[in-house]
Amino acid sequence: MQRFYIVLLGLLTLAAFSWVDNANQPTTLKIAKQLLGESWYRINLEKDHVGYMVTHAYIDPFGVRHFTTTTHFLIQQRPANTLTKHLEFSPNPPFALQKATYENRSGEQTATTRLQADTLGFNATVTRGRVENQLQLDWQYVLSDFLGFEHWLSSQQPQAGAERIVRSPDFERLRITSKKYRVLEKNTLGYVVETAAPLAATQTQLDHNMKPMQLNMAGIFTIVATDKADAIALSQMNNKTGYLFSLDQRLIDHQELRRLTLGVSQTPGNPLPKRIELLAGAVVSSGSGANSLGEELAYPISHPKIQALVQAALTRQEGSASIVDKLVNSSHRSIEYSEGNSAGSVIEALANRQGECTDYADLFTTLARAAGLPAKTVYGLAYKDGAQPAFMFHAWNEVLEDGVWRAVDPTWNQLSVDATHLPLTTDLAASLMLAHSRHPVDFVIEQALYN
């Protein structure tokens, strides 16, 4: 389930080099000078070397300041994934961002966002596979934004517990987002700071020049400064096998389950709960859904194929089916399931008429948002039937309908998810991955209640 790991690791590493706020220019330029050069990092999953990261900051002959971060990682028996972000700032005050490129590449699948400054903000060229479209973004962003957090540390020298709310460009979500950073400690090396990440908070040790020396996320991924030879020693990298959590017995008619209690195997140092309670229709989302609307790199809501598919779904006569029901059915019918063959993008999935669970879920998120409904793709575990039953990584959706969040699964054409769906909340996801990387985690059925 490659997209799960992209969300987990890619956002973790790229976000570490995107701190922002307002700052005065002399100090900002001084910090920018300190960051010049190339830095290499080794990415470990527990003790396994699974990737590398390199950052490069330089000034070209025209005075344009360039900042590049590239992350390359290989997890599971899948194509390697590479994330690259490149920002270019004008040589003249206020040193505005003038170009930016973000690329997400997995094997032969590529998604790219390219920004070019114009009078309205930025013209964005979004490419998903072989499909390209244009968007207008009303962003305003300058060098003092990009290096503002470092400036705050340098000028204010905050103590442990101090927090800073900052703005940061999110090239996946195609919007400027707000993030909270917290100082954990000031030590002889520099600062230890903490920020939110997809699964658990990321802790970063900065040196006195504000360069990251080590990043840690919940004891699972560590990213450590090293030399190039060590960072790219791909022969030492290990393919991780698929994360399957075996079950002691098969479930009969699992889609009819309304409540399921699982016992969790325990080993020394295992941070997991002894049991997990699952309910049909469970959701983790709340609120108005304002952050779950609009176009993103993964959700091309303005594409003509999406607009046509939404209109066809909404006008289809299906008895008393709601809009959500129609969109679930449309998503399910538009793709044939092909395990291990992710299409890589919604448009490619529609063109090839095949994909795996993430493609179904991303298609539904796209259709729902195109129809004006807040929606998101949810990552978690779900039941895998067979001679050796297990729970596996899976993707489904949560959508806001008539003010109430609702969980649906277009892969299985479920209008309400059954009780084998376990959303990976921050704490549980981090604990499961950490425990499973040390010793296989098994589940035991303690109680199964059906409709």
Question: Is there a contact between 442 and 266 (Cβ–Cβ < 8 Å)?
Answer: no
What are the distances in angstroms from CA 319 to CA 128, 218, 323? Answer: 35, 48, 11
What are the distances in angstroms from CA 128 to CA 56, 96, 362, 417? Answer: 26, 27, 13, 29
Are residues 445 and 420 located together in one domain of the fold?
Answer: yes
| Tokens coding 99 | 């170009």
Question: Which DSSP helix (H) or strand (E) runs through 308?
Answer: helix 304-315
* pTM score of the predicted model: 0.79
Are residues 295 and 270 located together in one domain of the fold?
Answer: yes
Q: What is the DSSP letter of 250?
A: P
Residue 222: name the closest of 83, 44, 435 by CA.
Answer: 44
pLDDT of 121 reads 95
Are residues 254 and 228 located together in one domain of the fold?
Answer: no
Give dist(CA 261, CA 136) in Å, integer.
48
First to last CA, the chain: 30
* Domain that includes residue 190, residue range: 2-236
Are residues 323 and 232 located together in one domain of the fold?
Answer: no
Are residues 224 and 280 located together in one domain of the fold?
Answer: no
Are residues 44 and 69 located together in one domain of the fold?
Answer: yes
Are residues 329 and 441 located together in one domain of the fold?
Answer: yes
33 contacts: CB under 8 Å, gap ≥ 6: none
Give dist(CA 240, CA 77) in Å, integer.
7
pLDDT of 273 reads 85
What are the distances in angstroms from CA 263 to CA 246, 271, 398? Answer: 12, 14, 26
| Domain end point (choices 188, 216, 236) | 236
Are residues 78 and 198 located together in one domain of the fold?
Answer: yes
Angle CA 245–408–315, to nearest 5: 150
CATH number at residue 346: 3.10.620.30
Give dist(CA 43, CA 28) in Å, integer.
29
Residue 298: name the closest of 110, 37, 28 by CA.
Answer: 110
Q: Please count the structural domains in the chain.
A: 2
Are residues 221 and 275 located together in one domain of the fold?
Answer: no
pLDDT of 20 reads 35
Question: Is there a contact between 25 and 147 (Cβ–Cβ < 8 Å)?
Answer: no
Give dist(CA 128, CA 110) in Å, integer.
6
pLDDT of 21 reads 35
| Tokens coding 50 | 């699974």
pLDDT of 243 reads 64
Residue type at 40? W
pLDDT of 197 reads 63
| Domain end point (choices 188, 210, 236) | 236
| Domain end point (choices 190, 213, 236) | 236
301 contacts: CB under 8 Å, gap ≥ 6: 294, 295, 366, 369, 370
| CA trace torsion 40, 214, 439, 235 (10° rounding) | 10
Are residues 263 and 147 located together in one domain of the fold?
Answer: no
Are residues 209 and 248 located together in one domain of the fold?
Answer: no
Q: What is the pLDDT along the chain (451 residues), one digit of tens a residue?
A: 445 555 545 444 444 444 333 334 577 888 889 889 999 999 887 777 888 999 999 999 999 999 999 998 876 556 778 899 999 999 999 999 999 999 998 877 889 999 999 999 999 999 987 788 899 999 999 998 898 888 888 889 999 999 998 888 999 999 988 888 899 999 999 999 998 765 567 899 999 888 899 988 766 778 999 999 898 886 544 444 456 889 999 998 999 999 999 999 887 766 788 999 999 999 999 999 999 999 999 999 999 999 999 999 999 877 778 999 999 999 999 999 988 788 878 998 999 999 999 999 999 999 999 999 999 999 889 999 988 899 998 999 999 999 999 999 999 999 999 999 998 876 677 677 767 766 788 999 999 999 8
What phi and psi, each to the nearest 5 degrees, are found at residue 253? 50, 55
Residue 348: name the closest of 139, 111, 161 by CA.
Answer: 111
Are residues 169 and 291 located together in one domain of the fold?
Answer: no
What are the distances in angstroms from CA 54 to CA 66, 67, 70, 104, 207? Answer: 14, 11, 5, 15, 17
Q: What is the DSSP letter of 9?
A: I
Question: Is there a contact between 119 and 129 (Cβ–Cβ < 8 Å)?
Answer: no
The residue count for the chain? 451
